[in-house]
Structure 1
Amino acid sequence: MIELMNRNPTSIYSIFIGMLATFVTTLFIFIYLSFFPASTHDKPFILHIPVASSVSNIAEILADNHLIHSKRFFKLVIRFMNADTKLRAGHFLIPQAINQQSLITLLINDSGSHNLIKVTIPEGFSINQISERLASHNICFKDDFETFAHSKAKTIFKDAFPFLSDIPKDTIEGYLFPETYFFQESASPKKIIEQMLKEFNKRIYIPFQKEAKSYPYSFHNLVTLASMIQKESRKLYEMPQISSVFYNRIKKRMYLASDPTVVYALGKSYKDRVYYKDLDIKSPYNTYRRLGFPPTPIASPGKKAFFAACNPDQTSYLFFVAKPDGSHHFSKTYDEHLEIQRIMKRRKKS
């Protein structure tokens, strides 16, 4: 203390300024690391850091992936943390929401061994199609996935996901949300399905739960209707119109008469198109011969299809027929519907 007091004011002032600068820098870095978000992505993804990458290289990669706001400040923080040689190379699973501190901690402590396989499950895929897609990417065996999805998943996951309790059958067809996923090679069907159910819960069940309760149909029936809308619609803007046709037909106690339900009923015997003889197939999924909804969804609907199931357009349409471009002609009467079909046949021949 005596030694400090004997120093001249300029020396004491310099020490004070140095301590203050260190404190302010530390505080600023703490705030930046703790509260500034890093990831601006709407879903998890795999980040690759090549072997022998310098801090500058890593900063460039992070900036390109919108994970840091300033390459210069990132390098400053790494030097301040004395972490220049601690950043690892490899494949890192970046979560949906992550702050700067968690990102740097991940790059230092994670093994970087996330050699996950990216696979996209399109809207309108059935369990059979999903299993084929997963098998083609060496993620799991087709038969194992189908067996688990059709006979085991509901029992195992119904407590975690309440919407499964309303399903009248054991299959969870329609509840595996279509999305791009990252899975381990040789992942278990249980692990895969749990992740897809979590996505359905987050994207469909939670957002639409209250809205669905205002309809006279069960949540399960709305998922089933959404799956039919998904399979019938190649144009997103038509989904509410197609939904209105199904609602109008239900009100009039008419068959829903949806070709995709017949395709689902035919299964492996389906031959690229629906023939008139196929409309007589004996199946609870044949909506040409059975009133009301099929017992389960026929595919996994996307969010827009489910929104259309809950929000149909207000129309008087009862029929629609597909045009060559994938859109539809809508009509209010059967005679009008037949006339449109005749016109389309004449155009096709000419």
Structure 2
Amino acid sequence: MKLAKKIALVIFVLVLVGGIAAYLQYRQVINYAKVTVNLTQEKIFTVPAGTGRVALEDLLVKDNIIEQGHEFQWLLKLRPELAKMKAGTYRLQPEMNVEQVLVLIASGKEAQFSIRFIEGNRFSDWSNILRDAPYLENKAKDATQTELYAMIGYDGEGLLEGWLYPDTYSYTAGTADTDILKRAYQRMKNSLDEEWAGRDRDLPYKNAYEMLIMASIIEKETGIDSERSQVASVFVNRLKKNMRLQTDPTVIYGLGDKYRGKIYRSDLDNYSAYNTYKIDGLPPTPIAMPGLASIKAAAHPAKTDYLYFVANGTGGHTFSHNLNDHNRAVKVYRQIEQKN
């Protein structure tokens, strides 16, 4: 009987000691979960597809986000919901603790990046921006024009110039640049279709594409919202009177890399499809990506009899009804230029 009591006592002590040890281990792991990670600034951390518990720990240790230790794996065993990591790229902050990092990775809420395309940019500008964007997969760079157009769903004729909607686009790591172009194209197409359907009915455009061309010219001529419809009225009035548009931005676009920062008389004298001093009507394609405000101005130009405009030296333009008034405005502008 005494032996049985001794055995029971030993078992009790062992269980008690084991329980205390387990509790202490549990508390250690719980406390570990609240330990702040080793970051002094934001870090972009990628979890590759197929990453398991041990591999995740190795990645975190390798990037010096956490210290090597047995607590990490014990935490995943005690909190199995934290072990359901999802592949992706995550934005880790210095104030986060180990638990918060694991919760984020298990949530699948990947880091969002953004890319901004400004009104008036050309397609070549967009290509450069896309090429330099972080964590973006570059598919457009090596694609032929036919392949690129197929990838983004562009079914129009001619260049993609003008067909992309300027805005800020968000994306996650690994997104293809063609996906962003596809979104931008669809937005522009929808916006153009909507504005074309509600346009004024006395406009000299054969189709929506010609209105897009006009919008791109307006975009390059002025950045002042209140002037856009007036600029549009000048060009619309000239088209109706079979006058040439004579707008410098189209000439500049036609020069391409030959543009030297200034338009020379020889540039105006040489024929090109974009030299609106030499051609009748609109150029063959847009010359930039217009914003919605310019598209609206092309669809609803102001009701004026203006035929000319010139910069006024303060960021805006002076509009004129006839050549004499225009020449006087040009003279005033040149005097302002000479003073500056």
Please classify the TM superposition score into its range, dividing by the shorter chain length: 0.5 to 0.7
Work out the number of aligned pairs and report it: 247
Runs of 4+ in 1 over 6 A off after TM superposition: 51-54, 85-90, 106-109
Letter in 2 for 1:192: I
1:334 to 323, 326, 332: 323
> For the residues of structure 1 that align with 2:294 and 2:35, how far apart are their CA atoms?
45
Aligned to 1:123: 119
Aligned to 2:232: 243
Aligned to 2:195: 208
Aligned to 2:249: 260
Aligned to 2:272, the other structure's residue is in SS state: coil
Aligned to 2:128: 132
More moved, 284-293 vs 339-348: 339-348
> For the residues of structure 2 that align with 1:212 and 1:149, how far apart are their CA atoms?
35
Q: Residue 250 of structure 2 contacts residue 283 of structure 2 at CA under 8 Å; is this kept in 1? A: yes
Q: Structure 2 vs 1, CA of residues 199 and 110 (structure 1 numbering), >3 Å: closer, same or farther?
A: farther
Q: Residue 233 of structure 1 contacts residue 239 of structure 1 at CA under 8 Å; is this kept in 2? A: yes
Q: Structure 2 vs 1, CA of residues 117 and 348 (structure 1 numbering), >3 Å: closer, same or farther?
A: same
Q: Residue 225 of structure 1 contacts residue 297 of structure 1 at CA under 8 Å; is this kept in 2? A: yes
% identical aligned pairs: 28
The normalised TM-score by structure 1 is: 0.62
Aligned to 1:220, the other structure's residue is in SS state: helix
Aligned to 1:311: 300
2:209 to 213, 216, 220: 220
Shift of residue 270, structure 1, vs aligned partner: 1.0
> For the residues of structure 1 that align with 2:234 and 2:282, how far apart are their CA atoms?
14
Please list, as runs of the form range in 1=range in 2, the aligned pairs for 1:15-30 lying within 5 A after superposition. none
> For the residues of structure 2 that align with 1:293 and 1:107, how far apart are their CA atoms?
54
Between Structure 1 and Structure 2, whose CA radius of gyration is higher?
2
Aligned to 2:198, the other structure's residue is in SS state: helix
Aligned to 2:108: 111
> For the residues of structure 2 that align with 1:130 and 1:118, how far apart are their CA atoms?
14
Q: Structure 2 vs 1, CA of residues 210 and 349 (structure 1 numbering), >3 Å: closer, same or farther?
A: closer
Root-mean-square deviation over aligned CA pairs: 3.3
Letter in 1 for 2:167: E
Aligned to 2:55: none
Q: Residue 149 of structure 1 contacts residue 172 of structure 1 at CA under 8 Å; is this kept in 2? A: no
> For the residues of structure 2 that align with 1:53 and 1:176, how far apart are their CA atoms?
47
Unmatched 5+ residue regions in structure 1?
A: 1-50, 55-82, 93-105, 159-163
